Amino acid sequence: MNTIALVGNPNSGKTTLFNALTGSNQRVGNWPGVTVEKKEGNFKFKSNIYTVIDLPGTYSLGSFSEDEIIARNYIINGNPNVVINVVDATNIERNLYLTTQLLEMGAKVVVALNMVDEAEAKNIEIDIQALSDKLGAPVIPTVASKKKGIEDLISKAVEIIDKDMDCKANISYGQSIDQEIENIKKFLKGKELAYPPQWIAVKFLEGDKEVLSMIKEKDEEIYKNLESMLEEDSLAELELEIVDKRYEFINNITSLAVKKPKENIDTITDKIDRIVTHKYLGLPIFALIMFIVFQLTFSIGQDLLGGFVGSGIEILGGKIEALLINANAADWIISFVIDGIFGGVGAVVEFVPLILVLYTLMGFLEDSGYMARAAYIMDNIMRHLGLQGKTFISMIIGFGCNVPGVMATRTLENRKDKMIAILINPFMSCGARIPIYLVFISAFFPDKGGLVLFLLYALGIAVALLVAKIFSKTLFKGEASYFIMELPPYRIPTAINVFRNMWDNVSEFLKRAGTIIFAVVTLLWILAMLPMGVEPYSQSSLLGHIGTAIAPIFKPAGYGTWQASVGLFSGIAAKEAVVAILGMVYAGVEEGTELVKAIQSAFTPLSAVSFMVMTLLYTPCAATLGAIKKETGSYKWMIFSAVYSFLVAWILSVIVYQVGTFIGLS
């Protein structure tokens, strides 16, 4: 099968182009880290199937971050038939640095010069033919968001595949470096190495750690001979000289092919950013925007949609129960379907409308380009904590789900930033926790839903930042890295991108409800029915015994009942399961108003707040723990994350309840 690799800078429209090519439901974002692993899609052209690999967004193909290594290793070792390099036409000089590195690798490159409409709006004139001639690679103008130029791009990529065409780029690094490259290539001739000799030579002279390690592992004698060809102290100077020559190559091209207006035009983006990224106003504006998002989420989702879905589930449950009774079904079957499935999984599904509204609004902010500003606004705070603004990007991604939030830390260059970002990400309130909050908000704070949601999300961020400060001074000492990030221009969100963002999150939520939560509910339903002869859902059941054993741990926090305890215990498998199990263990109550009434009788407003704080902060779900193990490469940090987050949650939950009790709250 023919394979096309898609690579480009963050915010160049790469993932939008991927969607235009394949029609897949790949998520579109405006910050680095969304596409942390390559994604696949297919399209058909003239009866042939082509596979498109969407590689991580990256500014270069060095070895500073994992996304750079993933991208370049696939291009070299994955042997794609052609590489489509997406270049932002409004930032062509910076984008062409990546193009230059692709050409160095000997890749068969087609340049998709994207967002040419925005370049025209800025009075940027680009001579496409001159650009193509000077690069030695075909250049196709595109507007991926409007699907313009896609057919031409596909035709050119297919032509290169069919004719096995090569690029004709000729990049010179100066006479002395060119000679060193030739010497190294001659020495490597005939030796079996994973990468092309030309590229190895350039990377060796740059002091690329990954390439140096590869050579050393493959053949230490080759490494020593290469090392002896140069003074080690000169490698740093050579690296800078190579970088300079790349930019000189780019400048020579753009000086002939690109004409920009002499005076910078004050764009709408510039005018908006003077306000929303203001040194003093930026953070309050960000807080206000998020508060409005949560207020709209609760009011629209709960008032307009939630009641309809909840009533529908109750009606459906009643009809199925009647059918089972009329069919003389066994009592245990009726109990499992009504108390287990409808009382458990149904209690979770009822909150889909609110999740739908939340992620529609978040998708709107993301696609407009505003969410990238959040990282910029937080950079000053993050630097005071010994981190960098890009760390906040992974935290924002964690609002959707902690798993991709943890994976997004791959964009962080140094180990200190990455480890701290991984360990604090589970404090970000993911979508799976929303059903828990909404049950308790409906029970005790129905008129202040938006405010309570906002405060919970804000508390998660505050705790994460405090823990980050502690870790940066204790477990992970070292210098803070610098934060460089491009802010994309503001754009009018497209309906398809906002819908994709929403549907990705909602479909994942429903998938978990139908798999993980169903499995957890089934297991705990069995425990609630055993041993035979005891009253189901009682403290005498096996489930009751388990809850009773762990309940004393939570008594100081105000919810030391066996039901609350098993609910929290189930949340380690999946946070959505907490509501499902509460719906089941309270004598198999139905979802909606029945569950809310059961919560009102078992909790007080103060213990409800304490419980929500606990669910916000305690041990991550199994999927997140697995992601932590994968990203850190150690069970030690996975266990550490599980234990320390539980202790943090328990301490704060106890403080909330005990202080509240002391001052007379209930």
| Alpha-carbon gap, residue 121 to 45, rounded angstroms | 32
pLDDT band of residue 34 (cuts 50, 70, 90) is very low
pLDDT band of residue 483 (cuts 50, 70, 90) is low
Domains and CATH numbers, the chain: 2-163 (3.40.50.300), 175-259 (1.10.287.1770), 284-477+497-662 (no CATH)
Higher per-residue pLDDT: 655 or 221: 655
Q: What pLDDT does residue 125 have?
A: 92
Give tens-digit pLDDT for 428-449. Answer: 998 889 889 988 998 999 888 8
Q: What pLDDT does residue 457 have?
A: 92
% of the chain surpassing 90 pLDDT: 29
Q: What pLDDT does residue 29 have?
A: 42
Q: What pLDDT does residue 485 have?
A: 65
Higher per-residue pLDDT: 516 or 13: 13
Q: Are 335 and 329 in contact (CB under 8 A)?
A: no
**CA distance readout (Å), 356 to 159, 296, 446:** 43, 12, 19
Find the length of the chain. 666
Name the helix (H) or strand (E) containing 114: strand 109-114
Strand 39-45 to strand 48-54: parallel, antiparallel, or no bridges (unpaired)? antiparallel
Weakest-pLDDT range from 314-318, 609-613, 653-657 = 314-318
Q: Are 283 and 380 in contact (CB under 8 A)?
A: no
The answer on pLDDT for 426 being more than 80 is yes
Give tens-digit pLDDT for 107-119. Answer: 899 999 999 998 9
With H, G, I as helix, E, B as strand and everything else as coil, classify residue 414.
coil
What would the mean pLDDT of 4-20 be, rounded to a whole number? Answer: 89
Q: What pLDDT does residue 10 have?
A: 83
**CA distance readout (Å), 65 to 36, 210, 348, 486, 510:** 11, 11, 38, 17, 33
b/e map 356-390, b = 16+ CB within 10 Å = bbbbbbbbbbbbbbbbbbbbbbbbeebbebbbbbb
| Alpha-carbon gap, residue 550 to 560, rounded angstroms | 8
Mean pLDDT of the chain: 83
Higher per-residue pLDDT: 309 or 361: 361
What would the mean pLDDT of 517-530 be, rounded to a whole number? Answer: 80
Q: What pLDDT does residue 264 have?
A: 65
Query: What's the distance, CA 649 to chain centroid?
Result: 24
436 phi/psi in degrees, rounded to 5: -65, -50
pLDDT band of residue 250 (cuts 50, 70, 90) is very high
| Alpha-carbon gap, residue 648 to 656, rounded angstroms | 12
The answer on pLDDT for 542 being more than 80 is yes
| Alpha-carbon gap, residue 320 to 334, rounded angstroms | 9
Give tens-digit pLDDT for 262-306. Answer: 766 677 888 899 999 888 899 899 889 988 988 888 777 665 555
The answer on pLDDT for 340 being more than 90 is no
The answer on pLDDT for 502 being more than 80 is yes
The answer on pLDDT for 659 being more than 70 is yes
Higher per-residue pLDDT: 635 or 11: 635
Q: Are 105 and 61 in contact (CB under 8 A)?
A: yes
Q: What pLDDT does residue 458 have?
A: 93
207 phi/psi in degrees, rounded to 5: 75, 30
Q: What pLDDT does residue 307 have?
A: 56
| Alpha-carbon gap, residue 550 to 562, rounded angstroms | 8
Q: What pLDDT does residue 28 have?
A: 42
**For the chain, percent helix, then strand, then coil, each to nearest 5?**
65, 5, 25
Q: What pLDDT does residue 235 have?
A: 59
Residue 361 is encoded by which pair of tokens? 């609004």
Give tens-digit pLDDT for 46-59. Answer: 888 998 988 888 88
Top-confidence range, 69-83, 312-326, 375-389, 463-477: 463-477
| Alpha-carbon gap, residue 534 to 540, rounded angstroms | 6
206 phi/psi in degrees, rounded to 5: -80, -10
Q: Are 89 and 145 in contact (CB under 8 A)?
A: no
| Alpha-carbon gap, residue 29 to 530, rounded angstroms | 48
Instruction: Flag whether the pTM goes above 0.75.
Output: no
Q: What pLDDT does residue 582 have?
A: 86
pLDDT band of residue 174 (cuts 50, 70, 90) is confident
% of the chain surpassing 70 pLDDT: 87
Question: Counting Cβ atoms within 10 Å, is residue 322 exposed (0-12), middle (13-18) or buried (19+)?
Answer: exposed
Residues linked to residue 140 through DSSP beta bridges, in sequence order: 112
